[in-house]
Structure 1
Amino acid sequence: MKAVAKVRIISPLQVCRKHANWVPPTPPSSPTFGNPCLDLFFRLVEPNTPVKRQANLNYLNQFLPLAWSHNPLTTLKLICNLHYDPHGPGKEHAQGFNSAASWLHHNHPKTLVCNLPAIAAGFRSFEKVLVILYRILEGKDPHYSITLLTEAIEETEDKIAMAKKALDRYERDPHYRFLHDRVSDLFADCLKSDIENFKELKQKKSQSQSDDDDHNYCLELTRAARWCPHVDSLYDCTTLLSESIAKKIFPRISYQGFEENEADHADRARQLLMKEVLLPLEAPLEEQSGYQFEWRTNHRASCPDRKYLEEVKAGGKSKIEAGAMLPHKIIEYVYDCDELRHVAELQWKVMVEDVYLKQCKFRNCLAICDVSGNMMRVPMDVSVALGLLVSELNQEPAWKGKVITFNRNPQLLAIQGDDLRSKCAFVRRMDSQEWHCKVDFQKVFDLILEAAVNGNLRPEQMITKVFVFTIYFDFDEISANQWETDYEAIKSKFKEKGYGNVVPHLVVWNLSQDKSTQAVPCTQPGVTMLSGFITNNLVESFLDNDGDIFPDHVMEAALSPRKYQSLVVVD
């Protein structure tokens, strides 16, 4: 069997540490309602019309200086949060990110440059680094496509004019020159590392004793070759970036054959960049090549949750760690992984008993779980898991193990089932069969009041919060009636039965994965609206704070992933 090389895509930060003059991040100040950082976070989403787009950019330009004055590091993270992230809380606001990067260049150029490796690494975006340089030079975003980087253009007067413009800007603008040099440093460092690793792999394979060698090799590469502008491409002619990169990889003073003048050196270096670096690295980065890609393995097979459950099952853990997994992650394995289902059930039991019951969290709370057909996989898992968890944490018999259905004729149901899987199935079956149903909240509170009266409960035993887990943000979208009218009737009924001071508070959490739905959470009488892209950190914050989630919690959760921790402010 022939040897197989596994390609492991590595971080540019790992290669470019010599340029990383990091300073320790300063702890962010405590966000408060109405601060400019929160305004930026909640109000900036990708607009869908030209008019809204311009208004959005005007808002960005207005609030960036205010937010930076309030908290520079948080603002820097918010700028990077505008970048598209298909698997996380980042927003799909390309123009916003590009505009904010230009603002950084003009106001904090060292901070922008210092964070280029972090942008290329944590945000998987060598492309964005190129767009930043192009925008600073041309004053507009490129009409981006891969042909901009790869297809050569013929020698024309326009090509010469573009080169003269780029050279003139480079020579007269020190801030642009600084940015250009650091972008070329980033690519040169990564490409040198990549080609060295590639050559080492070829040497190891050539030293193999036979074609039957069954050794598996690992080739560590960045994506720099995938995004490096090809010589004489439109992007190269506009920025002259390829020449800068080539001359750093093949300098005159250390490379034989470069005794000629500077112009000849530039031409030779560019030719070598294509022949000896970019072309050899094409194959390992092509998905249809004979290489195996580490990132193409089954995600769940290598995720920490699965590894933890497998260790518990194998007896490698002497004790189950109660807080090792979040509720919605546990039920994933209960439903989809037969070999680990029993261990996941044990994990749930330990989590409920050791983490939440002992801390007396979510006592006297109920959940309304939207499990209708428009709930996608992740929101559905979160709705079911949190609904079950809240039901099991109740101490009063009137509330324990119960949940409320999401429809116009709600019911207070006791969850049936002998194990976690059957209980999850019960909650999922509560679907009203309506694609977009609404909830009669006055009937919900009637059910709660009736149960309290029938159980002779004292006011302190009354439900304190009713959580609604859905994918709708606008309260009018889920309420069957006008809330203000309903709320007055609810208060009157509770007062009449002796519960006037303990009317439950309604907390509606929009679990939608649509990043364009984020808006400033608003509060109506007796209601709190919450919206936020579902992340582990946001769910943890919800659980840690007993369901009391405010805008600053949502922002902190969105900016807490590891990739944001590499960002630094230096000027």
Structure 2
Amino acid sequence: MTSSPSPVTTLLGPPEIRHPPPTSVTAPPPQPPPTPPPTGDPLLDLMDAGFNADPSRPLMDAGVNGDPSRPPIGLTENLSPTYISSGDSCLDFFFQVVPGTAAETVAELLSAAWAQDAATALKLACHLRGVRGTGKSDRDGFYAAALWLHRHHPKTLALNLLAIADFGYLKDLPEILHRLIAGANVRAKAKAERPHRGPKGRCFGRRPCCRQSEKLPPTIKAGTREERIAADLTRGKILSAQGAEIRRTKRTEMAIRAIERHTRDPDYRLLHDRVADVFAELLAADLRHLSAGEVAKISLAAKWCPSVDSSYDRSTLLCEAVARRVFPRSSDPDYLSLSDAHYAYRVRDRLRRAVLVPLRRAIELPEVYMSAGKWSILPYSRVASVAMKNYKKHFLKHDRERFTQYLDDVKKGKAKIAAGALLPHEIVNDSGDEVAELQWKRMVEDLSKIGSLRNCIAVCDVSGSMDGTPMEVSVALGLLISELSEEPWKGRVITFSERPMLHRIEGESLQEKTRFVRMMDWGMNTDFQKVFDKMLDVAVEGSLPADGMVRRVFVFSDMEFDQASPNPWETDYEAIRRKFEESGYGEAVPEVVFWNLRGTSRSTPVVSTQKGVALVSGFSKNMVKLFLEGDGQLSPREVMDSAISGREYEKLVLYD
């Protein structure tokens, strides 16, 4: 058995190609929480006593900052002066691309970054996908970047595939091929169609998928029982035949499209062949490990390789390409006399039977046990984090006693539960069940092993423009920062909308903490400066020494701040620095981590050269690691460079 890369292979596709068959409520005004007992930290005690009180001082006057060298400046959605670029195209890509950013915007920002520094831009594109390390886990953003790479730098994408797969999963490779064949927005279209389907896939309304019913004979509501049964059977047979014909036609069209693209497009052919090479080489190596009893060395190639006749296989014909490489004609004398069609059929079937099935069994995929109904021997400790989230209801339904015992063992420290690939808000949204509680605990524990946050607090934007997923992420990341902070800041968070409020999060479980956070003050405005105005108020009134000021503030927001400065074209951060200097705290301005959570915003609070700040974005907890590991002064470019400095980035090479 060999798996050496082969020259361009002619794909045949399914036999249908060669032998086609015949033809709102208003809430009461918020009340400030009661003053907690003293903490021992001078600033926090002052904030507990006075931060949530009504403002008593007007904004200070100041001059205009007229620096002509700064990048273009514009206005936020709420008319506050802001930069529309950091002045560094790579940093703009790093800061402005978040989950939900339009593919066209991703391409535009990546193009500008590539023109500035191609090597850094390639790293940033892969950083979007990073599930581990300090990556963003932004799957769709990465796919948009990958399609741009294929369009403009096809060799760089194709020849870096194995390195790129390390940032996410091998499944990304057939997904890229699928999007190239079916269209970049194929997933968005499928998602848009889902709400129109009822239980068991039944269509509602006058949808195209219901047109087949026009050809059915009318339902007979009268007549004998035998006549009604016969009519129903006839309708069922017609419907079944129509469904089979639709599926057969669709499969044939997909295969023809895949073959034509592979034949006529050399860039696509290079990418397709490299994907097939990667899977073939890994699967062949895994079979050798399996034969030698070295199960721990087996990769996840069998898990992510498309199953024969799966949707990926039908749209890309990838299984045929992989099978031809794993089982070339020279590997078996019987293959030499076979026609090409018969040979392709034989090796595809052998790929399924002799490669994918035994390897998937060896790596103990939960799906193998579930599909076989072998719930009683399913190894829960081997279930990945996303699979655990998706399958937990099935585990409780089919194997409640064993699964409950496993969760008890996790609580006692006798077993572990995976949480690495989940985003904080995904766990928080499931708070209330035992799995979410344990996965949140595991996430906090894993991050705590890296380090803790000293003298830090999270500021969560809960204004109207954050409605939806950005609001959920803001709350979840704010809760995570509060859990990772050292005392006395542990469990503290500030929300800001019309009026900033300092909160001590109450509750022991994730469900209780989440319930408390969701009951906090929400509003429509985004008065960011008021957060720092209140800090200054309590510091000045309490005669706080400069070294008692909070050191770092995480701001989770869409950056669409309200206009609050009396000086024309003075940005919010410039106004904050000015106020601190005028109040005698110029050397104690807190470091600010601006964390962007909305993909439709271009507002950029600071320029790339501004010291004492960071510009980050996304929904992943991985970015928090940057601030757990380092303790030096922040700057936007240095934080970005740190995020893409791991060994995995050193494997990336520019080819065109």
Compute the TM-score of the two structures, normalised by the length of structure 1: 0.56
Q: Separation in 2 of the partners of 1:266 and 1:112?
A: 31
Q: Separation in 1 of the partners of 2:336 and 2:574?
A: 88
Q: Separation in 2 of the partners of 1:235 and 1:269?
A: 19
Q: Does structure 2 conserve the Cα–Cα contact (< 8 Å) formed by 1:468 and 1:509? A: yes
Flag structure 2 segments of 5+ consecutive residues without an equivalent. Answer: 6-85, 191-245, 294-298, 361-366, 393-405, 416-422
Match of 2:539 among 452, 457, 469: 452
* Cα pair distance change 1:258/1:248, threshold 3 Å: same
Q: How does 1:225-304 map to 2 (within 5 A)?
A: 225-226=306-307, 235-236=316-317, 244-260=321-337, 264-278=338-352, 289-290=371-372, 294-295=383-384, 296-298=387-389
* Cα pair distance change 1:439/1:221, threshold 3 Å: same
Q: Does structure 2 conserve the Cα–Cα contact (< 8 Å) formed by 1:518 and 1:531? A: no
Q: How does 1:96-245 map to 2 (within 5 A)?
A: 96-106=145-155, 108=156, 111-112=159-160, 115=163, 118=166, 121-122=169-170, 124-129=172-177, 152-153=251-252, 181-189=273-281, 221-226=302-307, 235-236=316-317, 244-245=321-322
Task: Give deviations 1:509-536, integer Å, cap 9, x for gaps.
Answer: 3363x55658755259999574411434
**SS at structure 2 position matched to 1:126:** helix
1:463 aligns with 2:549: yes
Q: Does structure 2 conserve the Cα–Cα contact (< 8 Å) formed by 1:38 and 1:555? A: yes
Partner of 2:521: 432
Q: How does 1:501-520 map to 2 (within 5 A)?
A: 501-502=586-587, 504-505=589-590, 507=592, 509-510=594-595, 512=597, 514=598
Compute the TM-score of the two structures, normalised by the length of structure 2: 0.50
Amino acid at match of 2:147: N
Which range is displaced more, 183-192 or 141-150?
A: 141-150
Partner of 2:117: 67
Q: Separation in 1 of the partners of 2:615 and 2:308?
A: 39
Amino acid at match of 2:91: L
* Cα pair distance change 1:272/1:196, threshold 3 Å: farther
* Cα pair distance change 1:63/1:367, threshold 3 Å: closer
Q: Separation in 1 of the partners of 2:273 and 2:540?
A: 74
Q: How does 1:528-539 map to 2 (within 5 A)?
A: 530-539=615-624
Report deviation, 1:381.
Answer: 3.4
Q: Separation in 2 of the partners of 1:406 and 1:46?
A: 23
1:88 aligns with 2:165: no
* Cα pair distance change 1:551/1:91, threshold 3 Å: farther
* Cα pair distance change 1:233/1:66, threshold 3 Å: same
Amino acid at match of 2:114: L
Amino acid at match of 1:439: D
Report deviation, 1:275.
Answer: 4.0
Q: Separation in 1 of the partners of 2:259 and 2:573?
A: 68
Report deviation, 1:232.
Answer: 11
Q: Separation in 2 of the partners of 1:554 and 1:93?
A: 20
* Cα pair distance change 1:519/1:336, threshold 3 Å: farther
Q: How does 1:325-340 map to 2 (within 5 A)?
A: none
* Cα pair distance change 1:420/1:79, threshold 3 Å: closer
**SS at structure 2 position matched to 1:258:** helix
Q: Does structure 2 conserve the Cα–Cα contact (< 8 Å) formed by 1:369 and 1:470? A: yes
Task: Give deviations 1:200-234, integer Å, cap 9, x for gaps.
Answer: 99xxxxxxxxxxxxxxxx99933323377899967
**SS at structure 1 position matched to 2:592:** strand
Partner of 1:551: 636
Report deviation, 1:269.
Answer: 0.9
Q: Separation in 1 of the partners of 2:452 and 2:312?
A: 60
* Cα pair distance change 1:344/1:154, threshold 3 Å: closer
Q: Does structure 2 conserve the Cα–Cα contact (< 8 Å) formed by 1:372 and 1:433? A: yes
Amino acid at match of 1:255: D
> Percent sequence identity over matched residues?
23
* Cα pair distance change 1:310/1:541, threshold 3 Å: farther
Flag structure 1 segments of 5+ consecutive residues without an equivalent. Answer: 1-14, 20-32, 202-217, 302-306, 317-325, 395-399
Report deviation, 1:149.
Answer: 11
Partner of 1:475: 561
Report deviation, 1:448.
Answer: 3.5
Q: Does structure 2 conserve the Cα–Cα contact (< 8 Å) formed by 1:370 and 1:405? A: yes
1:408 aligns with 2:498: yes
**SS at structure 2 position matched to 1:507:** strand
Q: Separation in 2 of the partners of 1:423 and 1:142?
A: 39
* Cα pair distance change 1:372/1:17, threshold 3 Å: farther
Q: Separation in 2 of the partners of 1:259 and 1:92?
A: 45
* Higher relative contact order (CA closer than 8 Å, sequence separation 6+): 2
Aligned length: 465
Amino acid at match of 1:382: L
Q: Separation in 2 of the partners of 1:127 and 1:273?
A: 23
